[in-house]
Structure 1
Amino acid sequence: MKANILLNVEVISKNGRRHGLVKSLVVVNHVVKYLVINPGGILTKAQFFKPESIVDVNYKRLIVGSDKDIIKVKGKKVKNYFDEAFPLMDYPVVDKNGTAFGRIANATIEKDSYKITEYEVSRSFFDDLDHGFGIINASELVYKDQVLCYEKEMFDLGFKNQGTGIANKLLGVK
């Protein structure tokens, strides 16, 4: 499944209680560990849950098994849960020389293990128009110093034939 399916969907418990919208996916070692909920309101506690709690998901809603699956903590304690973690979308990617060349646009997630197999990297608006997103296997990216490090040069980024370049899709440009 694609990571964007899990974002901006309403979280509902099996009993029908609404918790808010999923705003972020927290990743550790290329595995989705938590989904962060934006419950709305100024004085609300941070809310998140483990992906194993998901019973059903589609583009509009995500159902968790129980209200008890939602973890609610004060802001100061959130760091304890998210140590060595990064938010998935829009996260910076650098090459082996430390040159920033893109941001995470999406990812492919295994359904049962929530392990990320590959990342879609947006290098620039115009490059995305021409070619679509670059695909990098998760094994080629390492999280360190608060960025994802690609083991090769940024120009070695291969493109799988996705047919996702907007210019290609709309205009038939090759």
Structure 2
Amino acid sequence: MKANILLNVEVISKNNGRRHGLVKSLVVVDNVVKYLVINPGGLFAKSQFFEPKSIVDVNYKRLIIEDEREIIRIKAKEVKKYLAESFSLMDYPVEDINGNRFGRIVNAIIDSDTFKILSYEISRSFFDDIDNGFGVAEASELIYKNKILTYQKGMFDPDFKAQGAGIANKLLGVR
């Protein structure tokens, strides 16, 4: 499953039908989705998140969890304890092995049973995305350490998997 199917969907409890808010981000630790963060709305709402094993069903409009007791509600100052050594999946910057920033994460392929990330889609630049599409890197090629996501090769030597041509080729037939 693609990671973007889990974002901006309404979280609903199966046991009582209560609506909890929208999923605003995915928290990743060691290439596994650890938590889904809910934006419940409201000015003084506590931080809320839950583990992906709580998901019963998901589609582009809603995400159903078994029971609302599976939602972790904590004060903002306690969030750091839960989310140490993690990063939010979408729009996270990517550097090459030499420390040169060359792209950002735009999506990922997730195993729907284990929530392990199999590969990441990386946007290098707007124009490169139009010409060539996003680059796809295996999860094992990206390492998160010291708050940096590092691609284990040089920026000018990305050995991304072929994802097909970009929008210019698909729509206009440009080569």
Give TM class, smaller chain.
over 0.9
1:12 aligns with 2:7: no
One-letter amino acid of the structure 2 residue matched with residue 128 of structure 1:
D
Asked if the contact 1:105/1:121 (under 8 Å) is kept, the reply is: yes
Output the CA distance in 1 between the equivalents of 2:130 and 2:108.
Answer: 19
Output the CA distance in 2 between the equivalents of 1:161 and 1:150.
Answer: 17
Q: Which residue of the partner structure matches residue 103 of structure 2?
A: 102
Output the CA distance in 2 between the equivalents of 1:147 and 1:168.
Answer: 33
CA deviation after TM superposition for structure 1 residue 165, in Å: 1.0
User: Which deviates the most, 163-172 or 126-135?
Assistant: 163-172
Output the CA distance in 1 between the equivalents of 2:165 and 2:44.
Answer: 42
CA deviation after TM superposition for structure 1 residue 157, in Å: 1.6
Q: Secondary structure at the match of 2:153?
A: coil
1:84 aligns with 2:94: no
One-letter amino acid of the structure 1 residue matched with residue 140 of structure 2:
S
TM-superposition CA deviations, 1:114-150 (whole Å, max 9, x none): 0001000000000000011001111011112211111
Q: Which residue of the partner structure matches residue 55 of structure 1?
A: 56
Output the CA distance in 2 between the equivalents of 1:155 and 1:135.
Answer: 15
TM-score (ref. length: structure 2):
0.97
One-letter amino acid of the structure 2 residue matched with residue 13 of structure 1:
S
One-letter amino acid of the structure 1 residue matched with residue 156 of structure 2:
F
One-letter amino acid of the structure 1 residue matched with residue 57 of structure 2:
D
CA deviation after TM superposition for structure 1 residue 158, in Å: 2.8
Asked if the contact 1:133/1:159 (under 8 Å) is kept, the reply is: no
Asked if the contact 2:136/2:163 (under 8 Å) is kept, the reply is: no
Output the CA distance in 1 between the equivalents of 2:6 and 2:171.
Answer: 27
Asked if the contact 2:135/2:162 (under 8 Å) is kept, the reply is: no
Q: Which residue of the partner structure matches residue 2 of structure 2?
A: 2
CA gap of 1:107–1:152, structure 2 versus 1, over 3 A, is: same
Q: Which residue of the partner structure matches residue 154 of structure 1?
A: 155
CA deviation after TM superposition for structure 1 residue 89, in Å: 0.3
Q: Which residue of the partner structure matches residue 124 of structure 1?
A: 125
CA deviation after TM superposition for structure 1 residue 154, in Å: 1.3
CA deviation after TM superposition for structure 1 residue 164, in Å: 5.2
CA deviation after TM superposition for structure 1 residue 172, in Å: 1.4
**How large is the RMSD of aligned CA atoms in angstroms?**
0.9
CA deviation after TM superposition for structure 1 residue 168, in Å: 1.4
Of all paired residues, the percent bearing the same amino acid is 70
Any stretches of 5+ residues in structure 1 without a counterpart? none
TM-superposition CA deviations, 1:17-67 (whole Å, max 9, x none): 000000000000000000000000110000000000000000000000001
One-letter amino acid of the structure 2 residue matched with residue 55 of structure 1:
V
Output the CA distance in 2 between the equivalents of 1:9 and 1:148.
Answer: 26
Any stretches of 5+ residues in structure 2 without a counterpart? none
Asked if the contact 1:56/1:62 (under 8 Å) is kept, the reply is: yes
